[in-house]
Every structure is written in structure tokens, then in C-alpha cells.
Amino acid sequence: SNGAMSNNTNGGISLINRWNGKPYSQRYYDILDKRKNLPVWHQKEEFLQVLKKNQVIILVGETGSGKTTQVCSLFFSFSLVCLLYIPQFVLEAVDLESPDKRRKMMIGCTQPRRVAAMSVSRRVAEEMDVTIGEEVGYSIRFEDCSSARTVLKYLTDGMLLREAMTDPLLERYKVVILDEAHERTLSTDVLFGLLKEVLKNRPDLKLVVMSATLEAEKFQGYFGEAPLMKVPGRLHPVEIFYTQEPERDYLEAAIRTVVQIHLCEPLGDILVFLTGEEEIEDACRKITKEVGNLGDQVGPVKVVPLYSTLPPAMQQKIFDPAPPPLQEGGPSGRKIVVSTNIAETSLTIDGIVYVIDPGFSKQKVYNPRVRVESLLVSPISKASAHQRSGRAGRTQPGKCFRLYTEKSFNQDLQPQTYPEILRSNLANTVLTLKKLGIDDLVHFDFMDPPAPETLMRALEVLNYLGALDDEGNLTKLGEIMSEFPLDPQLSKMLVVSPEFNCSNEILSISAMLSGHHQQLSCMGPMPPDGMYHRILIPNCFVRPREAHKAADEAKARFGHIDGDHLTLLNVYHAYKQNNEDPSWCYENFVNHRALKAADNVRQQLVRIMARFNLKLCSTDFNSRDYYINIRKAILAGYFMQVAHLEHSGHYLTVKDNQVVHLHPSNCLDHKPEWVVYNEYVLTSRNYIRTVVDIRGEWLVDIAPHYYDLQNFPQCEAKRVLEKLYRKREREREENRNRK
């Protein structure tokens, strides 16, 4: 090993990057100086010592202390390689260039959010002076930016779970880091249980659990009293302000507060927490406009949005410096970041002095009674509010403006985040666990076990879909379904689509339905009834405020009178026919990014289809059956999400008997007797969104096991179905008689 060392070091300073053999750039040394100031930097040695003696470590530290960037990149230092590879170290060290060796010595660091995985890996690649996708990479759903050279990989927790499906002992990793553990996302919670098992079979594997807030004792207890390391925080004091009265419109209040700060407060950047893409873009436009109206008495502002579907190059802008004064000696500029929860703990933006916290985030809520999972804008928790205010005190004392009353903070906000596993539909998770070979779900070591009803519901759904047999074992169909990174209904629809001779079209529809899947914000409590504010729609249609009419007309041109799924298909086809032209998108009020994303998703789904020899086929477009087959295939996946039009003129969901309304965004020109819906939106009114017209006969033909009238609540739908069954029975009899 001495030989290798002396080649690469000179007076204790490394000049050659050991991992790619290139000399370090000046930028490397510049960033190195910054890194040396991070609290985690000073505890590297201690960390290595603890890691050497233990299989699991819990690491807790304030956001911005360098956990995500510095702990992971430790692997790039010689010492961690030594630690993990003694005694075979000599051999390995010489062989760092061999991809084969690298493959089994990876370090994987999970992030609950895609944006964080991308952004942090880019930063670390820069810090390590390597090209992103080579030594340092990332992997998120539908996008893999890593290679055989990759030794440090940031990936979403969902992706690590997917990897475990083919690599149950996670053998490619030497260290797994579960970052942002305090977020308690569904996938991280499942990974806890899974890794606990894997560690028993892999004595050489190390696990690091990293968390921002202090749920740490809970993690410690769960992992058999693993040592806890605390990185001392270096937060400056943050003064908290509340509103005197509740705000009617938090968006308007947030914008007003930004302008006030810019007018009256000393220099320092502003961070505003909002809930999603549309709201954030809207706020950015308004802030820019209102500050513009103030004239040149005030300094210039640079307003930057941050949300999960923003393209990576735009995400980077949050790290740009504030703009300089317009003219020399003039008032200085300010950066204003308008972000989702991503900026709460996942990404640290230096220089923030003012935080505006309206008290809301978009959260997943599951209602097992009606089996509906929705994303709702809901009040955050006290812990979350505390994290948000902390963002103002990273570099100097700061101020946090909470756009709610102190009374509301004390009385209405829940103390802690409710783990996502307790507010999710678990069908997908159960399918994954089954695929991982975990059959006994009741005894699986969940940190917070989900309600038995929720597990039962999930098993039942998978059984109806044919993914599990009556004994709860994975079927052949279930095996294939589990390979698709999609909800079980969606993957079922895809897998059976060749039987309806329309897999090409179903692929396009599936991609359109999941292409701009919104990243979930998972902090915060269950919202009390009636607290839902704005519901945001991920949408491939653009509807700018100043051009409502033109946008609606454009959308109507794509509209298919039989349903929104078919409209989405029309949009996709038109996009392809127009050569994916961005200006065509612009002229037709179609979101180019959403379409591009969908197209990318489609290509990946095609690859999975090919792996299982699922045929790509289409019904002749001129055939009367073209759209009928597509609608039938949709039903084959979504037969549990059907609503029936009652004589009263209302829709009732089948079996659950909930009154629902067609979402105003629908494209139908009539009220069909039966519809399949993709989404159930809970507000003061219950809407079903993305609906398609289907026929009652198809229910009887395609899903008789679900539409089994023996255990069916009394309702109009049941009486109609009884007639349909009798009709089918008569037809069968006539057929027999004819023969």
C-alpha cells in the first residue's frame, strides 16, 4: 500500500485524484476550503472510528452541517477504503481502476426526493472533481445517471427498494446511507425493515442513518442501540413573527410579506415556502411584477422557483448569488427563492436571512374507508415549522415570518410528522415486499406498523388484480407487474393491454398518466377536515391567466368526447406528429416538459414490456373497435375505480357508495352511465378526475370476480348489474340453443 500512497500524495496534499487519475482543478481547492468549514468535516475521524467498530450508526445534525455531502464523500478519502478493505486492502487499492472491483464496493445514499438526489450528487461530483455519472452518480425513477465506474451513488429511497428486488442482499454496496430519515417516507420505512434483515446476512455491510431532527432515539432503539453521533449545529438565532389575525389567502399574504421585507429589512436573501409548481410559478411572476412596480428606489431582485419537476439546470439557480446593484452605489440586490418543502431539510441554500412560512405543504392522505389516496395542501407540523424557521439562521441571525397566528401554531399544528406509511395506500408496497420474498407481512419489523386494515386492503386489491393468489402468494402476473415502477392498477392495465390489441396506445396513456407524477411532500400531520386549501393539478395543459379562452379552445381541439384518457392519447399523438416541436407545444398550450417526460417514461416502459415478451400492438385506427379496445383495457386495470350515474343525477362510486362529481376539467360531452376514474380528489366536494366512459356489460365480462353480486351493497348499480348478468345468461342460452 505504501507504493500506492507515495504515488499520489505530495507532502500530505493529494495532487492526483485517485479515482480518475487526473490532477485536481483549482475549483477543487476552492470548494475544499468551504468544505473544511462545515461542522461534519471536523468529525470525520471520529465518524470513521465509530463506523469501524459498529455496523450501524445514527448521525444527527442540523440541516446544512454537511451530512449529505461530506459523509458520503468520505468514501473518496483513502481512510474509508482502508477501513472497509483491510485485509484485502493492498489488492483493492491497486485495483481502483477496475470496474469489476468497483461494482462491489459502492456506497449508496438514499434521498426521499428526486431533486435532492440530482442536486446533491452534482455538488459532490464537483467537490470530488469528477464528472457526474462517472465516479459519482444518481439514480431516480425513470432516470439513471450512473455507470460501471460509479462508486458513490445517490438514489431515491424508492429506487434502492427497486434494486433490492433484483439484488436482495444489496451486494453491490459496502455502505448504505439512509438520509433524511426523519422524513419517514414510505420507502425509507420499508428500507429500515429490509436493511435490518440484510445486515444479519451481510456482516461486511455498514448502515448509516442520517437525520435532521431528533427522532434519533427512536432510530437508535430500532437498530439495537446503535451509537448516535451528533454533529453540533451552528445555527444563529432566528426571530419569529406571527400574524395577528389568520390570513385568508396565504399566497397573497406571502407575496405581500416578500415586498415588505424588500422595502424595509436589511440585506439578506428570502426563502418562501409554498406547496407546488403552479402556485410557485404564479408567486414568482407576481413578486417580480410587484417589485418592478416599486421603481429603482429598491434594489433588484432575482426570483427563483424550486420544485421537483423543474429541469436540473433551473434547479441549480437557487445557488446563484444575489444580483449586484443596478448602478454603482445603488441599493443592493436580493435573491428570493420560492420553494416547496424541498428547501426544508433536503437542500441548503446559503445566505438566506428571511423565511416566509405560510404553514402549508402538499401531503399525501389516505382514506382507507373509500380507499383513496390524495395529495392535499395541508397544515404542516410544529417540527416542520421549526425546521423552516431554522433555514433563516444558517449564516447570520435571521427572521422567520409565520403567516398564521401564534394561537394557531400552539393549538392547531400537530407536534410531529405522521409517518407516510400510516397514511398511504399500501398496495404497491405490499407487491414490492412480496417480490422481495417477505411473505409474513404481519411480522415484518416495521418501525411503525401500518393498521392491519390497510394491509388487508392492500392484499385484497392485489388479489382482485390477480397479482396474488388466494393464499397470498405472488402469481406470474404479479411478478411481471412488480417489475413496473407504477401503481398496481396501472401495471395491470399495461400487462393485459396486448390481450385487447392496444398495448401501443395503453403505453402512451400510462406514460401520460405518470410522466409528470408529482413528488410528494411528506412533512406534516393529517389535516383536520375542512382545512384543504388549494388543490393543484399536475397537468400537460397550460392555462395562463391572461389567455384562458385561447387555452381552453386549444384543449378542446384535443378533446375526446368519450373521456380524458383518450384526450391524453390525442395530445401525445399530436405531439409526436408535430415532431415534438416546442413551439408547436407553445402555440397549442401544451406543456412541452410534461410531454417530453412522458415520452421518456414511455420508452422505458417499452423496454420492460420487451423484457417480458409483451407484444406491442394496435387495433386499426379506422376500426370501430380502436377506442373500444382501449377503454376495455383501461377497465381491466381500473375496475375497482368505477362510478355509476344514479337516477338522482349524481355519481356514486361502485361498492363504496360515495357521492362524487365529474371534475370540471373533464372532456366528456355527456354524462355516461358508467365511468372509470383515475383519481379521486377530496375537497369540500368530492371529485373524480381523469374519467372515461365504459359500458356496464364490460364490468360483467372483464371483472366478474369483483362484480360478484353475492357481496355487493344494495344500490342502483347492483340492480343494473343484475339485469346485465341476466342478459348475458340469456345470450349464452340462445347460443346454446342455436348450436
Interface positions with Mg ion (CB under 5 A): 67-68
Stretch that binds ligand ADP, among 118-126, 574-582, 609-617, 723-731 (CB under 6 A): 118-126
The residue among 175 and 458 lying less far from ligand ADP, judged by its C-beta, is 175
**Crossing angle of the two packed helices 488-496 and 452-465, in degrees rounded to 10:** 10
With the CA atoms of 505, 508, 510 and 515 taken in that order, what torsion angle do they form, in degrees rounded to the nearest 10? Answer: -170
DSSP state of 739: -
Q: Report the partner that residue 66 touches, choosing among ligand ADP, Mg ion, none (CB closer than 5 to 8 A by kind).
A: ligand ADP
Q: Report the partner that residue 378 touches, choosing among Mg ion, ligand ADP, none (CB closer than 5 to 8 A by kind).
A: none
Find residue 240's DSSP bridge partners: 400
To the nearest whole angstrom, how small is the minimum distance from the Cβ of residue 183 to Mg ion? Answer: 11
Given a contact cutoff of 8 angstroms between Cβ atoms, the answer to whether 643 and 660 are in contact is yes
Q: Between vectors from CA 710 to CA 654 and to CA 439, what angle results, nearest 5°?
A: 80
To the nearest whole angstrom, how small is the minimum distance from the Cβ of residue 92 to ligand ADP? Answer: 27
With the CA atoms of 677, 681, 685 and 691 taken in that order, what torsion angle do they form, in degrees rounded to the nearest 10? Answer: -20
Give the up-direction half-sphere exposure of residue 528: CA atoms within 13 A in the CB hemisphere.
6
Given a contact cutoff of 8 angstroms between Cβ atoms, the answer to whether 192 and 162 are in contact is no
Q: Report the partner that residue 341 touches, choosing among Mg ion, ligand ADP, none (CB closer than 5 to 8 A by kind).
A: none
The residue among 68 and 503 lying less far from Mg ion, judged by its C-beta, is 68
What 3-state DSSP class applies to 136?
Answer: strand
Q: Report the partner that residue 184 touches, choosing among Mg ion, ligand ADP, none (CB closer than 5 to 8 A by kind).
A: none
Given a contact cutoff of 8 angstroms between Cβ atoms, the answer to whether 465 and 481 are in contact is yes
DSSP state of 710: G
516 is a contact residue toward ligand ADP (CB under 6 A): no
The residue among 213 and 482 lying less far from ligand ADP, judged by its C-beta, is 213
The residue among 344 and 373 lying less far from ligand ADP, judged by its C-beta, is 344
The residue among 140 and 459 lying less far from Mg ion, judged by its C-beta, is 140
Q: Report the partner that residue 368 touches, choosing among ligand ADP, Mg ion, none (CB closer than 5 to 8 A by kind).
A: none
**Interface size with ligand ADP, residues (CB under 6 A):** 16
Q: Which of residues 21-80 bind ligand ADP (CB under 6 A)?
A: 38, 61, 63-70
**Integer Cα distance of 119 and 132 in angstroms:** 11
The cell numbers describing 507, all together, are: 403505453
**Integer Cα distance of 677 and 679 in angstroms:** 6
**DSSP letter for each residue of 659-670:** EEEE-TT---SS
Residue nearest to Mg ion (CB): 68
The cell numbers describing 398, all together, are: 435571521
Q: Report the partner that residue 591 touches, choosing among Mg ion, ligand ADP, none (CB closer than 5 to 8 A by kind).
A: none
What's the length of the chain? Answer: 739
Q: Which of residues 343-402 bind ligand ADP (CB under 6 A)?
A: 348, 350
Given a contact cutoff of 8 angstroms between Cβ atoms, the answer to whether 304 and 317 are in contact is yes
To the nearest whole angstrom, how small is the minimum distance from the Cβ of residue 39 to ligand ADP? Answer: 8
To the nearest whole angstrom, how small is the minimum distance from the Cβ of residue 319 to ligand ADP? Answer: 4
Q: Report the partner that residue 350 touches, choosing among ligand ADP, Mg ion, none (CB closer than 5 to 8 A by kind).
A: ligand ADP
Radius of gyration in angstroms for the set of CA atoms belonging to the chain, rounded to a whole number: 27
503 is a contact residue toward ligand ADP (CB under 6 A): no
The residue among 124 and 226 lying less far from ligand ADP, judged by its C-beta, is 124
The residue among 43 and 489 lying less far from ligand ADP, judged by its C-beta, is 43
Q: Which of residues 522-561 bind ligand ADP (CB under 6 A)?
A: none
DSSP state of 590: B
DSSP state of 418: P
User: Where does 146-214 show beta strands of DSSP type E?
Assistant: 152-156, 173-178, 206-211
**Integer Cα distance of 43 and 555 in angstroms:** 57
Give the count of beta carbons closer than 10 Å to the beta carbon of residue 416: 17
To the nearest whole angstrom, how small is the minimum distance from the Cβ of residue 59 to Mg ion? Answer: 10
To the nearest whole angstrom, how small is the minimum distance from the Cβ of residue 82 to ligand ADP? Answer: 23
Q: Report the partner that residue 692 touches, choosing among ligand ADP, Mg ion, none (CB closer than 5 to 8 A by kind).
A: none
The residue among 231 and 310 lying less far from Mg ion, judged by its C-beta, is 231
To the nearest whole angstrom, how small is the minimum distance from the Cβ of residue 116 to ligand ADP? Answer: 8
The residue among 318 and 427 lying less far from ligand ADP, judged by its C-beta, is 318
The residue among 193 and 323 lying less far from ligand ADP, judged by its C-beta, is 323
One-letter identity of residue 206? K
**Integer Cα distance of 121 and 117 in angstroms:** 6
To the nearest whole angstrom, how small is the minimum distance from the Cβ of residue 178 to ligand ADP? Answer: 13
The cell numbers describing 412, all together, are: 392547531
Q: Which of residues 281-340 bind ligand ADP (CB under 6 A)?
A: 319
Given a contact cutoff of 8 angstroms between Cβ atoms, the answer to whether 385 and 430 are in contact is no
**DSSP letter for each residue of 55-92:** SEEEEEE-TTSSIIIIIHHGGGSHHHHHHHHTTTHHHH
Q: Report the partner that residue 119 touches, choosing among Mg ion, ligand ADP, none (CB closer than 5 to 8 A by kind).
A: ligand ADP
In the block, residue with C-alpha cell 431532527: 213
Q: Report the partner that residue 61 touches, choosing among ligand ADP, Mg ion, none (CB closer than 5 to 8 A by kind).
A: ligand ADP
123 is a contact residue toward ligand ADP (CB under 6 A): yes
The residue among 123 and 402 lying less far from ligand ADP, judged by its C-beta, is 123
The binding site for ligand ADP (CB under 6 A) comprises: 38, 61, 63-70, 119-120, 123, 319, 348, 350
